[in-house]
Amino acid sequence: MLRPSTQRYSVTRPLYSEDTFEDEHAKVYRKHKRLLDHFIQYFTCTSERAKNAAVSLLPIIGWMKIYSIKDWLLNDIVSGVSTGLVAVLQGLAFSLLASISTWYGLYAAFFPVIMYFFLGTSRHISVGSFPILSLMVGAVVTRLVPDEGPPANITAFEGLTKDEQRILVSASLTFLVGLFQLGMGLLQVGFIVMYLSDTLISGFTTAAAVHILVSQLKFVLGLTVPGFSGPLSIIYTLESVFTQITSTNIHDLVTSIVVMVTVLGIKEINDRFKSKLPVPIPIEVIMTVIACGISYAFNFSENHGVDVVGKIPNTFESPIAPSLQLFQMTAVEAFPIAIVGFAVAFAVAKVYSVKHDYIIDGNQELIAFGASNIFGGAFKSLVASTALSRSAVQESTGGKTQIAGLLSAIIVLVVILGIGFLLEPLPKSLLGAVVIVNLKGMLMQVVTVPYLWKKDRPDCIVWVGTCLAAIFLGLDLGLAVGLGLELLTVVFRTQTFALASFSVFLNLLQIYEPEGVKIFRIPSPIFFANIDFFRDKLKDAVGFNPLRILRKRNKAVKKIKKMIKKGELTLTSVCLESEEEGNMEDLDKPTDYSDLPIQVNWNTELPANIRVPPVNIHSLILDFSAVSFLDISALKGLKVALKEFIRVNVDVYIVGCDPYIIEKLRNCKFFDDEIKTSIFFLTIHDAMLFIHESHPPKTSKQTPNQRQGFEYFKIGVYNN
């Protein structure tokens, strides 16, 4: 970088009023579409639009066209079998949270998966029961059909046993959740998930993990604890557990401790050696087989009073019609369940779509999950979403598409119809232990509280407030409290922000946007609700996706190195062998040019038919003069976005940034070897002078448009 003392500029221009400025510079008017124009365009049907609509509604058409049987089928088979075994165990375990018979959890790993196979846009998530949703369903079930006392006065309950009444509540609630999700998908309101910040979701899921942990104590200790619902239900549950603590079944307790210690230990080995293991060790399945054998051999159920899974029907039950009266009584709980289920599934799907470089559609995901839950609810399934651990198994074992999900459903089908009887002696304490072990990731989120308190106290208040409210008031009310706190923090931040400590005059008329430079202006604060929109618009403005370019470059470098090593690459070489996909995580890292005896110019024709899209800019200026604050979610997203551009050799400069924001970036460890404080400049003019020194223009000719001023890309962050 040039020394500051060598940088000087002076500006001379006439004094302008708005009127004189408009007289000298013609105003450009953009044509805005009327509501009628949008209406006509929306209902205009062409063959191309019909084709796109079919592919959008049935995403399976899109990925089946590119499906490689040779390269993908074996991976999908291995992944499907592994995921199916885990889905069976988790289906049984999570049904306990819903206070219904265990085999109905298996239905959630079958019926919704079939529907999502055709309608879902994610290729890697594993659809099925999710512990938080099962717990929220269980709260409704125990409210309407309590363990002690008469059930609610519902006509459809007449002539049904308590178990049948609970199944009717669960199925009707699942059906209603599906209707809500399908309706939101058809109304194109998938963007609603943007208003659930990472901080809010983290606090909410931590509280849910606490609820789940407490609810499983009765199985781990072998106690009979009635179900409670509503505010302070967790206090009543703990009170009931501790009053009966002397009646603990020692066989259940020992089984649970052994399972938890073993599973935690093996999972740690899986995480530490995941790069060396071909597939993760299926320790949960192994412990299930061992526990079933021991329980059957020693007759735990009769000899030691251990509560076991019991009879599992070897057939599917007949579908049922939902109760409209139950719709009325559960609508308040069904809507937050629909939102939470979609938010969790979309967040997981988004992670894998970025990692494997394909696009997911939030609105289509709502339609897919809505249809899946409607279909599943008709067949007495639990509410379906995705479990993080199960999706991780499907992706880490090599799954490429939802064919892996379909095969996992077939494994569940085999268990239901063929070998389910083998699971009848399985102790419920083992299922409770498995549930608790899978809470580790959610419970460990509490370590973020000290970090948030030091770096972003409003976000910390949202996290703690959401968590405490969800723990003591219940998950549904806790989510509402969290949304209220989040709204208050946004209002607080937009109304009270630090004033800049400098004021430097900027003459836009004397500066133009030269070739190779793109200027992007952000006209508002950046926070959790608009960070994704900001990144999408930034990519639209520059005309390319930097992460995709980076991956293609890394693949090309690997291929060039391989061909040089084999002696296949010469000056006249035009042929090469098939490209290796490589590890997607490695492809996201900066390009490694070590051991490469040549320099690569990515904007010229590459040897051996290697094609990488060119990058037509060398510098990107982000105008932060209107950005009054950044929250933690935005800070993380901004850091990722900047690194993506830096790694494809695009220099990024930030101008007009509030000193308060720069100080916050320092405190939050924003800067590292790639992102340095030297990227900040006082004004656009300062940044342009530095760019001019670093990248001298090839020609001094200017077009009339360049003389008129900068081209700005403005984004509407609230109207997305």
> pLDDT tens, 52-104?
777 788 888 888 888 888 888 988 998 898 889 888 988 888 888 888 988 89
pLDDT over threshold 70, residue 658: yes
The DSSP element (H or E) to which 654 belongs, if any, is: strand 651-655
pLDDT over threshold 70, residue 681: yes
Report d(CA 327, CA 345) in Å as an integer: 24
Amino acid sitting at position 26: A
In the prediction, which pLDDT does 41 show?
75
In the prediction, which pLDDT does 17 show?
58
Confidence class for position 384, pLDDT limits 50, 70, 90: very high
Q: 653: which strand partners?
A: 621
In the prediction, which pLDDT does 132 show?
87
For the chain, percent of residues with pLDDT exceeding 70: 84
pLDDT over threshold 90, residue 411: yes
Query: Of 3-7, 340-344, 575-579, 610-614, which range is least confident?
Result: 575-579
Give the closest residue to 172 by CA, choosing from 160, 184, 187: 160
In the prediction, which pLDDT does 498 show?
35
Report d(CA 380, CA 373) in Å as an integer: 10
Burial class (CB in 10 A: 0-12, 13-18, 19+), 102: buried
Report d(CA 495, CA 497) in Å as an integer: 7
Report d(CA 213, CA 216) in Å as an integer: 5
In the prediction, which pLDDT does 15 show?
63
Contact 322, 375 (CB under 8 A): no
pLDDT over threshold 80, residue 582: no
Q: Which residues contact 561 (CB under 8 A, 6 or more apart)?
A: 595, 596
User: Taking the alpha carbons of 263, 265, 270, 276 in that order, is the dihedral positive or negative?
Assistant: negative
* No. of helices (H) and no. of strands (E), the chain: 31, 7
Report d(CA 319, CA 331) in Å as an integer: 22
Antiparallel, parallel or unpaired: β 385-386 and 127-128: antiparallel
Report d(CA 478, CA 205) in Å as an integer: 11
For the chain, percent of residues with pLDDT exceeding 90: 29
pLDDT over threshold 60, residue 720: no
Q: Which residues contact 150 (CB under 8 A, 6 or more apart)?
A: none
Token pair 């995921």 is found at 83
Burial class (CB in 10 A: 0-12, 13-18, 19+), 513: middle
Confidence class for position 568, pLDDT limits 50, 70, 90: low
Contact 652, 517 (CB under 8 A): no
In the prediction, which pLDDT does 503 show?
30
In the prediction, which pLDDT does 507 show?
36
What secondary structure letter does DSSP report for 193? Answer: G
User: In this structure, what are the phi and psi dihedrals at residue 627, rounded to the nearest 5 degrees?
Assistant: -90, 110
Mean pLDDT of the chain: 82
Report d(CA 521, CA 527) in Å as an integer: 16
Confidence class for position 614, pLDDT limits 50, 70, 90: confident
> pLDDT tens, 258-292?
999 999 999 889 888 877 887 778 888 889 899 99
In the prediction, which pLDDT does 699 show?
55
The DSSP element (H or E) to which 620 belongs, if any, is: strand 619-623
Report d(CA 667, CA 60) in Å as an integer: 46
Give the closest residue to 245 by CA, choosing from 214, 216, 222: 222
User: Taking the alpha carbons of 680, 682, 683, 689 in that order, is the dihedral positive or negative?
Assistant: negative
> pLDDT tens, 160-182?
999 999 999 999 999 999 999 99
In the prediction, which pLDDT does 282 show?
83
User: In this structure, what are the phi and psi dihedrals at residue 69, rounded to the nearest 5 degrees?
Assistant: -60, -40
Confidence class for position 522, pLDDT limits 50, 70, 90: confident
> pLDDT tens, 211-236?
989 988 988 998 888 877 778 889 99
Q: Is pLDDT larger for residue 647 or for residue 708?
A: 647
Tell me the two tokens of residue 292: 């079933």
Report d(CA 352, CA 405) in Å as an integer: 15
In the prediction, which pLDDT does 419 show?
87
> pLDDT tens, 632-654?
888 988 999 999 999 988 999 99
**Counting every residue, how long is the chain?**
720
Contact 537, 545 (CB under 8 A): no
Contact 3, 682 (CB under 8 A): no
Antiparallel, parallel or unpaired: β 713-714 and 680-681: unpaired
Confidence class for position 347, pLDDT limits 50, 70, 90: confident
Confidence class for position 564, pLDDT limits 50, 70, 90: confident
Angle at CA of residue 536, ends 531 and 539, nearest 5°: 125
Burial class (CB in 10 A: 0-12, 13-18, 19+), 671: middle
Q: Is pLDDT larger for residue 693 or for residue 470?
A: 470
